[in-house]
Amino acid sequence: MGEVYALGVNFKTAPVEIRERLACSPEETRNILPELKTASGVEELCILSTCNRVEIYTFSTDEENVNLLLSLFLKAKGLEDARRHIFLHRGEQAVFHVFKVASSLDSMVVGEPQIVSQFKESFRIARELGTTGKILNRLFEKALRASKRVRVETGISRNAVSVSYAAVELAKKIFGDLKKAKVLLVGAGEMGELAANYLKRLGCQIFITNRTYEKALKLSQELGGNALRFEELEDYLSNMDIVIVSTGARSFVLTQRLVKRAMKRRNYEPMFLIDISVPRNVEPSVGGIDEVFLYDIDDLKEVVESNLRDRMREAKRGEIILWDEVKKFMGWMESLKIEPMILKLKEVTREMERESPYLRRLVFRAIREMKRNPDTASIIFRIFSEEVEDVNGRKGISYVYNRADGA
């Protein structure tokens, strides 16, 4: 019958210098997939290549072909000595691994959604090239179904696990609806830019200031925001609801005195300050001003670590869901072994089914039972093979039914 295999490298088994040399661009994948399938002799094949993993999923009736496939792939990449980094799963464990990858339970950041689109894209390419078939097509469809179940039935992606996104989640807790909230990004640090990007998607108005006005102008064009001059910070600070500070300054950019004056001008409407700078750019005593909510990088990391612990707990629940889906898939794989018997049974009974709706229902029930419990398939098939050809009337059909039912 054959088995499903999963093999390759990921962030758990190989360092980045190995992964990047084995990585395949979409164009390279399109070129190498048909060649590997033909040369190795495996029946079905797909490659998933991301920054954290390069994995091959295949169906083969001969494990020697899978070993040949691996050798050919490593040779094509000029990295034959990387075999010690390769993992190999077969059968049920391979199916579980594929489902785990698709559900992001095997990701470096558990629950991150990006892997789902990468998984779909690798499947799309392989299917377009015709290197997948009945087994892998079903495997990927069920893996995506399992992924959806994990997202819906657990809290795996509910909590932020990046510093930038954690800042946005905190802002949502303080302000509720962030639509039309005014956000000021002070500086052009990467994490601050990411946070501003998240907030932009939520409908916030983005303003950017930097000591170098040209940098603020360039970033504002990228983010679809407005550039403000740094030397006028005190004039417009009171208009801002959320301020993200991400600069390389060695001293405080926002002092207690500056923020106090701004809060007075805004009649102490809440202001959320996120200081992602190291060293800190917001004077710590600012957090003591009424209606000012100040979080620094350590506060955000604490939130992230707490959320990661929550995700890991949810991941355990997710694995239970995956095993449920794996058992269903393996049951389907098992049922494929009896397909020849089912086809033969239909052939044997085809003429009589036309004359007898009762027999048609009986054959339907027999096939359903064969699929549900493959161990009984050969017994049911033998009974029908022996008896159906002699059926001439209702009594004979009942006899077949009783024997099949008692099998």
Tens-digit pLDDT profile for residues 192-224 = 788 888 888 888 899 999 999 998 898 888 888
Q: What is the mean pLDDT of the chain?
A: 86
Say whether pLDDT at 244 is over 70.
Answer: yes
Hey, how many other C-beta atoms are within 10 angstroms of the C-beta on 130? 11
pLDDT of residue 229: 95
pLDDT of residue 355: 62
Question: What average pLDDT does the segment 336-359 reach?
Answer: 67
pLDDT of residue 396: 47
Question: What average pLDDT does the segment 34-53 reach?
Answer: 96
- Between CA 26 and CA 49 the distance in angstroms is 9
Question: What average pLDDT does the segment 172-185 reach?
Answer: 85
Tens-digit pLDDT profile for residues 60-85 = 999 999 999 999 999 999 999 999 99
Give the burial string for 183-204 (b: 16+ CB within 10 Å, else e). bbbbbbbebbbbbbbbbeeeeb
Which of 196 and 96 is assigned the larger pLDDT?
96
Question: Residue 393 class from Cβ within 10 Å (0-12 exposed, 13-18 middle, 19+ buried)?
Answer: exposed
Say whether pLDDT at 169 is over 70.
Answer: yes
Mean pLDDT lowest for which of 28-32, 99-103, 225-229, 360-364?
Answer: 360-364
pLDDT of residue 351: 62
Say whether pLDDT at 407 is over 60.
Answer: no
Question: What average pLDDT does the segment 146-163 reach?
Answer: 83
**The model's pTM:** 0.67
Question: Residue 206 class from Cβ within 10 Å (0-12 exposed, 13-18 middle, 19+ buried)?
Answer: buried
pLDDT of residue 327: 95
Q: What is the dihedral of CA 196, 198, 200, 206, to 10 degrees?
A: -10
Q: Which residues are catalytic?
A: 51
pLDDT of residue 401: 47
Percent of the chain with pLDDT over 90: 56
Longest dimension (CA), the chain: 102
- Quote the tokens at residue 173: 């807790």
3-state secondary structure of 244: strand
